Structure 1
Amino acid sequence: MIKIRDFAEIAQVATSTLRYYDEIGLFKPVYVDPDTGYRFYAIEQLLRLNRILALKDLGLELGQIVQLLDEEVSIEALQGMLRLKQARLQQHIQDEQEQLVRIEARLRYIAQEGHRLAREVVLKEVKPLTVIAGYTHVAGFLPNRQYANALLAMLKQNAICPAGPVLYIYHEGTSETIDFNVEVAVPVEPGSVNLAKLSPDWNRRVVLRELPAVSIMASLIHHGNPHGSVEAYQALGVWIQTNGYTVTGPCRKLSLRWSGELDDYLTEIQYPIEMKR
């Protein structure tokens, strides 16, 4: 038998938790010394305690935990519930980290009033591009990158070489519930792709089209975490407005370097513009 203090250390719980579980009848020691009141546990009890703690981490009430233990929930079911909770927590952590990066970018923009980035705006002419493209309704960085990676993998399987970096083109949403239709486009050499030869799944999901030429494209390079690109977007928007231009088409975002550490990513943000009339 193991003293409560040692058992708590092994189980990585507080002794007060073990005492409370004993008091409510959820997890009782195998022996209580009648003279001293000291509680003693058996190492075999770790399995039940871990089940209790796992169910508690799932957000269940103690009454629900007792019911599930009485029903002898299977290990497979418990593992499934924990994996689902794990995925939700990971997504929550990821969302919080992305929000922190966006806050930092907004703070930098406020402190600099957009002046530093505004000086880096470049005007250039963009030639027409042949692209193979698919569409999503998710504007987030990670889902779109995952879609782009799947598209690039499909091209590689079909021996199709990209002719440039992946573009993300943000078209206006088609309904009140959809903010953007995101076009994920990979430039290819004209005549190098025959959609009929692709698998039926991809054949239905992608199109082959030509992006039109743009006579004046306002461009700005963002070096850093893509979640912090708000700073670059706002500086570019302010520059366009203050220099007498107007936006004439959807924004294009080019993934010049989207691998390695997020802080070392290179993203080019482009807006087609013309002088205000």
Structure 2
Amino acid sequence: MVCLTLVYTIGEFASIGRVTVRLLRYYDQIGLLAPARVDPVSGYRWYEPEQASTLTRILQLRDFGLKLDDITKIINGRLDRTGEQALLVGARDALQLEIEQNRIRLDRLDGYLRSTQGETPEPTIPVELTRIEPQRVAFATAAAAGWGPINITPVIGPLLGHVADRLEAAGVAQFGPAIAIYQADGSAGVDSDRVRVTAAYVVDHTVRSADGFDVTTLPAIEQAAVAVHHGSVASIDQSWHALMDWADRNGYQPSGVCRELYRTPGSEPQETWVTDLQQPVTHRS
């Protein structure tokens, strides 16, 4: 009696896994999930039933937000349990942050919806009007690929670290807090998605430009609407939107580029960070 091993065509296996044939071919191409065998003449691909559990695991990990490169390492046994746990914890933290951002977004949407129905919305973030004094700063600039934390964070963090290192190398013992300024790159009149990132630290009058940083004085802001953002910079846009909503409702309009002043050392966990959003404004006449 001949025992035949049960196998599935790529179409059958795709149907069982609720994925597309194209996705299975891609997983094979990147070394994530290869067919059990391939006919050398016809090129037909065959999968074994045991591979269904592997496909399910891949789809679960993908749904959790893990990158395909990391999933490949897990599936192919190139990560130990500790490494896999670290990736899963990171994915959980990212999902938790997304939930928090969506909660803030939902609160603001509810307030916006109530305003369209004639209600006066409650402010979602405290804002005060104040004068910002001139500040002497040591700074450096770099370009980010675009707006949003996904583009800004990989640039501003290292750039602040660079300026801090160069200040210490120049013998400057005391400096800070840190300030960041973000401006769309409109140089040479060419359309661009790039953002010019300025990373700075407040310094005293004795500090001069040196290798790795320049020194300038940021002008005073005669009237700034200031809101305090608590927590990760990944959700800072929500606070900025709330600040601009407050300004509009109270008859103010922006008169310059916003500054971010970081009151918490960058070495501290981001959930503990305190950031001042300083938006120059004028009252609409």
TM-score range, shorter chain: 0.5 to 0.7
1:125 aligns with 2:131: yes
Matches within 5 A, 1:147-186: 147-174=159-186, 175-186=190-201
Contact 2:226 2:279 in 1 (8 A): yes
Cα distance per residue 1:75-110 (max 9 Å; x no partner) = xxxxxxxxx9349997x9597776555333312322
Cα distance per residue 1:7-56 (max 9 Å; x no partner) = xxxxxxxxxxxx889x9xxxxxxxxxxxxxxxxxxxxxxxxxxxxxxx98
TM, length-normalised to structure 2: 0.59
Contact 1:166 1:187 in 2 (8 A): yes
| C-alpha separation in 2, matches of 1:130 and 1:96 | 39
Cα distance per residue 1:200-247 (max 9 Å; x no partner) = xx2xxx332111111101100011222112321111101111211111
Contact 1:160 1:193 in 2 (8 A): no
TM, length-normalised to structure 1: 0.60
Aligned positions, number: 204
| C-alpha separation in 1, matches of 2:243 and 2:234 | 16
| C-alpha separation in 1, matches of 2:107 and 2:251 | 25
Please, what is the CA RMSD of the aligned residues?
A: 3.8
In the alignment, what sits opposite 2:250?
Answer: 243
Amino acid at match of 2:172: I
- Structure 1 unaligned spans of 5+: 1-18, 24-54, 66-83
Contact 1:104 1:228 in 2 (8 A): no
Contact 2:258 2:277 in 1 (8 A): yes
| C-alpha separation in 2, matches of 1:246 and 1:87 | 48
1:115 aligns with 2:122: yes
Report percent identity of matched pairs: 20
Amino acid at match of 2:101: R
How far apart are 1:115 and its partner, in Å? 2.6
| C-alpha separation in 2, matches of 1:267 and 1:88 | 38
Amino acid at match of 1:122: E
| C-alpha separation in 2, matches of 1:268 and 1:64 | 60
- Structure 2 unaligned spans of 5+: 9-27, 39-67, 74-86, 113-120
| C-alpha separation in 2, matches of 1:213 and 1:64 | 71
Matches within 5 A, 1:1-277: 58-59=31-32, 61-62=34-35, 85-86=69-70, 99-113=98-112, 115-118=122-125, 120-138=126-144, 139=147, 140=149, 141-143=152-154, 144-174=156-186, 175-195=190-210, 198=211, 202=212, 206-257=213-264, 258-277=266-285
Distance change >3 Å, CA 128–CA 87, structure 1 → 2: farther
Contact 2:207 2:215 in 1 (8 A): no
Distance change >3 Å, CA 121–CA 142, structure 1 → 2: same
Task: From the two aligned structures, give the one with the greater helix fraction.
Answer: 1
Larger-Rg structure: 1
Amino acid at match of 1:145: G
| C-alpha separation in 1, matches of 2:258 and 2:251 | 18
| C-alpha separation in 1, matches of 2:283 and 2:225 | 12
Q: Which secondary structure state, in structure 1, belongs to the residue aligned with residue 176 of structure 2?
A: coil
Q: Which secondary structure state, in structure 2, belongs to the residue aligned with residue 102 of structure 1?
A: helix
